A = this chain, B = another copy of it.
């Protein structure tokens, strides 16, 4: 067990499974959620519930990314694609610089909590074509952060941990089940209705993961 850890928590499947791993590796956990002007608050409620489940400190970050837009998630004028063939192209739900911003803020918070690691649930296999989920980006960002942060200058750099990076969505589901992660509390859908739309990339990838793992999605059983 190391000391403290910071988890980027979206309330979705991946970050919750990442938290279920972090909680076994860290004595203290801070979960960081982002209200960045995304279309709905449903994922923030889920993230708060997951943080409560783990007895983690929650830091709720607010950033007005809807003031500059550029994504279907922050600009209502851009439509969320439904039922599309998911390929390696960058979709309209890409948020410019999202993981750069999320990791930067998480690293800043990690310094104030004297944490040794930031956990992010990115995944390079079953993902939506976002360049800021690729391992080469994460590695380069970790190196840059080492140079810009007090902790790097002090010779105690903060590591960026991506425990899910090489897993399929099915393996992520299985890892979560194995760790007793509260998958029933999670929300992945890009829309914010009472129940998931089932047609956006996030819903499609999640359903495929549970299906391939041979497990019923507990969030759909309620």
Contacts and interface: CB of A to CB of B under 8 A. Distances in A.
Interface of A: 59-65, 67-70, 90, 94-101, 103-105, 107-109, 111-112, 131-132, 134, 136-137, 140-141, 143-145, 147-150, 152-153
B107 A96 contact: yes
A145 B109 CA distance: 20
Q: Which 10 A-B pairs have the closest CB atoms?
A: A97-B108, A70-B112, A100-B104, A140-B144, A132-B148, A96-B108, A96-B111, A137-B147, A137-B148, A141-B144
Given A61-B63, A100-B104, A143-B140, A109 B68 contact: yes
B149 A70 contact: no
Given A97-B148, A101-B101, A108-B101, A63 B60 contact: no
A85 to B, nearest CB: 19
Contacts of A99: 148
Nearest to A132: B148
Nearest to A63: B63
A187 to B, nearest CB: 23
A133 to B, nearest CB: 9
A159 B43 CA distance: 34
Interface centre among A62, A96, A131, A140 (most CB of B within 10 A): A96
Interface centre among A64, A90, A107, A144 (most CB of B within 10 A): A144
A116 to B, nearest CB: 15
Contact of A68 (B59, B70, B101): B59
